[in-house]
Amino acid sequence: MKAITVLWVAAAVAMAQQRDYPVKPVPFTAVHIDDTFWAPRIETNRTVTIPFAFGKDEETGRIDNFIRAGKALRGEPFDNKQFPPYPFDDTDVYKVIEGASYSLSVHPDPKLDAYIDGLIEKIGAAQEKDGYLYTARTINPLVPHPWSGKDRWVLEGVNSHELYDLGHLYEAAAAHYAATGKRSLLDIALRTANLLCDTFGPGKREIWPGHQIVEMGLAKLYRVTGDIRYLNLAKFMLDVRGPQSKEQGAGNPYVQAQMRVVDQSEAVTGGHAVRAMYMYSGMADVAALTGEMSYVNALDKIWDNVAGKKLHVTGGVGARAAGESFGANYELPNMSAYNETCAAVGNDYWNHRLFLLHADSKYVDVMERTLYNGLISGVSLDGKTFFYQNPLEATGNAGKDQRSPWFGVACCPGNITRFMASVPGYIYAERGDAIWVNLFVANAADIKMDNGRTVHFTQETRYPWDGAVKMTVGPDQAGALTVHIRVPGWARNLPIASDLYHFEGASSEPVTLKVNGKPATIALDKGYATITRTWKKGDTIELNLPMPVRRVQAHGDVVADRGRVAIQRGPIVFAAEWPDNPDGKVRNLLLPATAKLTAEYRPGLLNGVDVVTGKAEGLAYDQQGKIVRQSQSVTLIPYYAWANRGRGQMMVWLPEIDAVARPLPYPTVASGAKITVSGKPQQRSFDAIKDGEIPAASNDHAGYFDWWPAKGNTETVDYTFAQSAKVAECGVYWFDDSGQGGVRVPASWRLLYKDGDAWKPVVAIDQYGVARDKFNVVKFTPVITAALRLEIQAQANFSIGLQKWTAK
C-alpha cells in the first residue's frame, strides 16, 4: 500500500506540470441545464436508458461473461461450452458504467452506486493475476479465439479487441473515480495499464490496437494519475501504426494503418469510421498533452477532407455499410447511408477536441450539426430503442428503418448513455480570463476560471426552436473578462466551413448583439463575437440569431443530392416522414424551388418540435407513363425525431425537379394483392415487392426480403387478388448479396396460377431468367385467375431472396 501512496504523491506533483488543451472545457458537473430540449433527454437517459442498457447487459450474458471468467480463474465449474458472442461485449458494460457514473456525478443515487459496485466486483474477479482483462479469452484460455487468436495480442493489429475493451475500461474508470472518489474500478484499470506498459513499447511488442480507443483511455489515465508511462504508451500506439510494421494488418486502411498517422491526410475510403474517429480524438489528446504538432497538422488535413467531402448534412459520417466505412470523396448516399450512431458520437468527440486545440468555432459548427441531427437520431424519444445506422431516406420496408431495443453488436446504445449524460460539458470552455460560449441551451453554470475567479453564467433561450439567447455574466470579483460568443455558421450563411453545402439565397435578417440592452458591434474572431470589458454582476448579453427556414444544396459532385434540397432551420435539419403527409407517402414528393416554407412550434408533437410546412407536389405516373402532379401540403419534422411513430417512408433530400423525383408507379394487378410467403423469411415487410419501384441493384438493401439462413431450399410467394384478374406478364428482380452475404439468384423458378383449387404452371413464352440487377420478364399465355404463385429453387449452398415482383 505504501508504494501506492508514494506513487500518488509523485502523481500529484506531475499533474501540476501537465500540459493540456490550450482551452479547457467547463465540466458538465458545473453546468446545470434547465430547458425543455436537453434536460428531459438527459433525465430520460438517467431514468430509462441507463437502467435499460444495464438490464440488456444482464439479459444478454454480457455481465455473465465476467462471472464466468471469474469462475474460470478460481477453478470453479461453469458452462464454458460457448465463447461469448463477441469479444468486445465487455465494452457494453464499461460504457454504461461510464454513462451511469456521469449521471451519478450530478444526481446522487445510492442504489445505482451500489449496483455499479457489484459490477466492479465481478469485473475485478475476471481480471487475471498479471492484470490481463478480456473475458473472451479467460473463459476459454486454451483454444484459439475466433477474433483474437491463440495467444494474447497476436491479432491485435488486425481485429482483436483486447485493447479496445481496455480503452473503454479506462474511460469508465476515470468517470467512476471522478464521480464517486472510489478507486475500485480505477485500480483494476491501472493494473491492466501497467501490464500494457510492460508488454508494449519499443523493443517489446510493437503493435497497435485493432480497434482504437485505448489511446483516449490512456490519456485519461494519465490525467488522473500523472503517470507519464500511460501518455508515452498512447503515443507509442499511435506512432507504431502503419505500413512499415511487420505485424499483420500493416497497410490495411480498414484499421487506418495505410500510412503512419502523422502522414495521413484523409478519412481514407474503406476505413472503419468509428475506429477513425476514436483515433483522431486520441491523436488530439496526445497532441494536447505532449505538444506534438505533427499530429495537429495531420488532423487539420483530415478535418478538411471530412468536412469538405465526407460529412452528411445531418452530421453523420461513415457512408458505407461495407466495412462500416468512409466512402470516396462526395460519396454521400441517402437511402444506404450507414452513419453509425457511434461514428456520430466519435465525430463530436473529435470536433470538440479540435475546438479545444484551435479555439475556432468551425469545429463547433460540425459538432452542433451532428449533435442536433445525426447523433440524437440514434435514440428514440422514450429512450428505449436505438438506431445503429442513420440513413437519410427510408422506404419503411428495411429492417434498419425501425429502431431496435438492442443489437447483437451493441456498441451504439452504450455510447448514447455516456454521451447524453455529458452533454452539459460541451456548452462552455475557458482559458485565463476568457470564456467561450459554444452551445445555446438554457442553463446556469459556475465557471471556475484558470485565474482562480468564478463566473456565474446563465442562458435563457428556447433554442433550438428560437435563436434569441439572453445571457447574464456574474463574476465573483471585478476585472476584465473576455466572452467569446459563437455566431453559428448557419447564421452566417455558411452551413459548415467548406464548400460541401450552401444555403440558397441569403438570410435577410442580421444577427444582432446587445450588451446591457445597448447594441454592440459584432467583431468576429474565429467565428466568435468577442467582448472584452469589466463585467459586473447582473450584466447581460442578448444575442439574436434569426432562424428563417433555409434550403440547403450540396456540392455538385454529391450525385445523390443533385436536383434536391434539404431544409434547415437554426441547427435543425428537417425530414418529411410518412405520418404527417398525405397517404403516408413522401418519396414521391417534389418541392418546387418557389415553394414558400414556414415554421411553427407544435407542443403536442414528438415531445414538442418545430415543424416546417408548405405546398409541395405529389407525383404519380398515369397509365401511359406520363407524370401527373397534385398540389398538396407537406409537413417536415426534425430529422432526429423520425421513426418514433412506426415504420414508413422518410426523406431528407427533397427533389426540386422531375428528373430526380420518384413518381408513384401506376397501380397494377399486383399493387392490391395479398402476399403470402412460405418458410420463415427474416422479419421484414413483404409489401415492397409489389410497390412497382425499381431497385438500384440486386444487392440494394432498401426493401428486399430473403429466406436466409435456409440454403438450397424451394420456396413460394403467392399473390392473392381481391377478385379474379387477367395476367399475361410477370417480372422478377432477384435479391443477391454476392460479396457480402450468402444470398444468390436462384437455380430456377417458375410461375403457377390458381385454377379452382389447383396450382397449374403458366404456359411461358419467355425463358425464366436469373440475371442480376434487372427485371427478369416472362410473358405467358394470358390467364384469368384469383392467385399467382412464384416457385423458386435455390442454388445448393445458397439462400434466395426477392426485391420485386411485377404482374400485369
Residue 371's nearest CA partner among 411, 441, 303, 316 is 316
Cα–Cα distance for residue pair 252/211, rounded to 1 Å: 12
3-state secondary structure of 368: helix
Q: What's the CA angle centered on 420, arms 418 and 424, to 5 degrees?
A: 110
Q: Which is nearer to Zn ion, 378 or 663 (CB)?
A: 378
C-alpha cell at 345: 458520437
Q: What's the closest the beta carbon of residue 148 comes to Zn ion, in angstroms?
A: 20
Q: Catalytic pick from 98, 156, 171, 324?
A: 324
Is 411 assigned a catalytic role?
A: yes
CB 88, min distance to Zn ion, A: 10
The answer to whether residues 395 and 649 touch, using CB atoms and an 8 Å cutoff, is: yes
Is 617 annotated in the active site?
no
Distance in angstroms (rounded) separating the CA atoms of residues 426 and 339: 22
Q: Decide if 171 contacts 185 (C-beta within 8 A).
A: no
> Is-contact 409 86, C-beta < 8 A?
yes
In SS3 terms, 360-378 reads as CHHHHHHHHHHHHHHHHHH
| Closest C-alpha to 665, from 697, 634, 628 | 628
Is the CB of residue 300 less than 8 Å from the CB of residue 294? no
Name the residue nearer to Zn ion (CB basis): 342 or 379: 342
| Active-site choice (411, 430, 693, 715) | 411
Nearer to Zn ion, 340 or 368 (CB): 340
Residue 279 or 637 with smaller CB distance to Zn ion: 279
Strand 654-655 and strand 650-651: the pairing is unpaired
For Zn ion, the closer CB: 85 or 579:
85
Closest among 656, 634, 644 to 583, alpha carbons compared: 634
Q: How far is the CB of 333 from Zn ion (least distance, A)?
A: 19
To which residue does cell 491526410 refer? 265
Let me know: does 435 contact 428? Beta carbons within 8 Å. Answer: yes
Task: Report the candidate in 256, 198, 259 with the shortest Cα–Cα distance to residue 232.
Answer: 198
| Sequential DSSP letters for 108-143 | --HHHHHHHHHHHHHHHHTS-TTS---HHHHHSTTS
Q: Cβ 351 to Zn ion, closest distance in Å? A: 18
Of the candidates 623, 628, 631, which has an alpha carbon nearest to the alpha carbon of residue 692? 623
**Least distance to Zn ion from the beta carbon of 411, Å?**
3
Shortest Cβ distance from residue 437 to Zn ion (Å)? 31
Asked if residues 111 and 46 have their Cβ atoms less than 8 Å apart, the reply is no
Residue whose C-alpha cell is 403516408: 584
- Closer residue to Zn ion, CB minimum distance, 102 or 419: 419
Q: How far is the CB of 193 from Zn ion (least distance, A)?
A: 25
Cis peptide before 209 (omega within 30 of 0): no
Rounded CA gap, 284 and 235, in Å? Answer: 11
Q: Residue 348 CB, nearest distance to Zn ion (Å)?
A: 14
The cell numbers describing 15, all together, are: 499533474
Minimal distance, residue 386 CB to Zn ion, in Å: 9
Q: What is the DSSP string of 663-730?
A: PBPPP-TTTT-EEEE-S---S--SGGGGS----SSTT--SS-EE-TT--S-EEEEEEEEEEEEEEEEE
The DSSP secondary-structure symbol of 381 reads T
Of 242 and 378, CB closest to Zn ion:
378
Nearer to Zn ion, 406 or 705 (CB): 406
Cβ proximity to Zn ion: between 137 and 211 the closer is 211
Residues of this chain that bind Zn ion (CB under 5 A): 340, 342, 411-412
Q: Per-residue DSSP letters for 45-82?
A: IIIIIHHHHHHHHHHTTHHHHHHHHHHHHHT-----SS
Active-site annotation, residues: 324, 411
